Amino acid sequence: MFTAVGATLLLWASAFVAIRIALTSFSVAGLSLGRLVVASLALAALAPLLGVRRPGRADLARIAACGVSGMTAYQLLLNAGERTVSAGTASLLVNTAPVFAAVLALVLLHEPLGMRSWAGIGLGFAGATVMAVTQGSGARPSVDALLILGAALSQALFFVLQKPLLARYGGLEVTCYAVWSGTLFALPLLPALAADFPRAETEPLAAMVFLGVGASAVGFVTWAYAQARLPVATAANTLYLVPLLSIGIGWAALGETVHPGALIGGLLALTGIAISRRTPTPRATSVPGQRHAR
């Protein structure tokens, strides 16, 4: 089970670096659709082996909303932001998603928040603000950092929308449904992928395939395996290692460094998430707070 956890963390942490590599040949739109298509095909091949069921007709609208928010919008915003934001900083920014999810759950699901949760949310937003500003010029936040925060918000919306589905389906099943529906909604981006593909170099092409097969398909399978065998809190807490691994992999593979201000902001955000995290039910956390990069 610990091998599955380690594999998941490495796959998801490497995804932020792979995006940076893939963007050297692919446009934001082309990479977004390409990754989703590869992930959809890989999950379609695995689905019969993993016992993925056909969703009920009554759930199709919610599944579509999950696909748009958690896959289509998330991919577009994250890829756009990583044009200039380093892999490590992008991972820190995306990991603010649980902070947004807590607020959205209050608004949409009327889930109450205690003082501890509000304190954690405040720290999370403070950290996100520090990271966005340090990526910009002067006191103005970076537009691309804000796009990645938009990706975190999209992922948070996905977490909230999927919650009723997790009462009826397994986390891996919901992921499959979201990836497949998200791919359908991304199909208008096909001209961009068709234009990028013929001139794509080997390394960026391999990075895109890795994103679809490794980070998206295999990563969710290994995560589901680990969550089925570990206490929920233990499994969830391991996700705090993803940004640290992303920073290390980004440094080793691309020579990237992270602004000290971004590290401080990231530490604030992760501390806020740790403070505000409540003990969830196993069903409610079968798809990670992250990722994503996922």
pLDDT in tens, 164-209: 999 999 989 999 999 999 999 999 999 999 999 999 999 999 999 9
Determine, yes or no, domain membership for 65. yes
Q: Is residue 290 part of a domain?
A: no
Q: Is 291 among the domain residues? A: no
Q: How many Å apart are CA 235 and CA 287, to the nearest integer?
A: 11
pLDDT one-digit tens code per residue, 104-117 = 888 888 888 888 88
- Residues 204, 21 contacting (CB under 8 angstroms): yes
Can you tell me the distance from the alpha carbon of 239 to that of 234, in angstroms, rounded to the nearest whole number?
A: 9
How large is the angle between the packed helices 87-94 and 260-276, nearest 10 degrees? 20
**Boundaries of domain holding 256:** 2-285
Per-residue pLDDT of the chain (294 residues; tens, 9 = 90+): 678 889 999 999 999 999 999 999 999 999 999 999 999 999 999 999 989 999 999 999 999 999 999 999 999 999 999 999 999 999 999 988 888 888 888 888 888 888 888 888 888 888 888 888 877 655 567 899 999 999 999 999 999 999 999 999 998 999 999 999 999 999 999 999 999 999 999 999 999 999 999 999 999 889 888 877 777 667 777 888 888 899 999 999 999 988 888 888 888 888 887 887 654 444 444 444 444 456
49 in a structural domain: yes
Q: Considering the domain boundaries, does residue 215 fall inside one?
A: yes
CA 254-93-252 angle, 5° bins: 15
- Residues with Cβ within 8 Å of 149's Cβ and at least 6 positions away in sequence, in order, are 93, 96, 128, 132
Decide if 251 is inside a domain: yes
Whether pTM > 0.85 for this model: the answer is yes
Work out how many domains the chain is built from and give that number: 1
Reduce the secondary structure of the chain to three states and give it as a string: CHHHHHHHHHHHHHHHHHHHHHCCCCCHHHHHHHHHHHHHHHHHHHHHHHCCCCCCHHHHHHHHHHHHHHHHHHHHHHHHHCCCCCHHHHHHHHCCHHHHHHHHHHHHCCCCCCHHHHHHHHHHHHHHHHHHHHCCECCECCHHHHHHHHHHHHHHHHHHHHCCHHHCCCHHHHHHHHHHHHHHHHHHHHHHHHHHHHHCCHHHHHHHHHHHHHHHHHHHHHHHHHHCCCCHHHHHHHHHHHHHHHHHHHHHHHCCCCCHHHHHHHHHHHHHHHHHCCCCCCHHHCCCCCCCCC
Please report whether residue 169 resides in a domain: yes
292, part of any domain: no
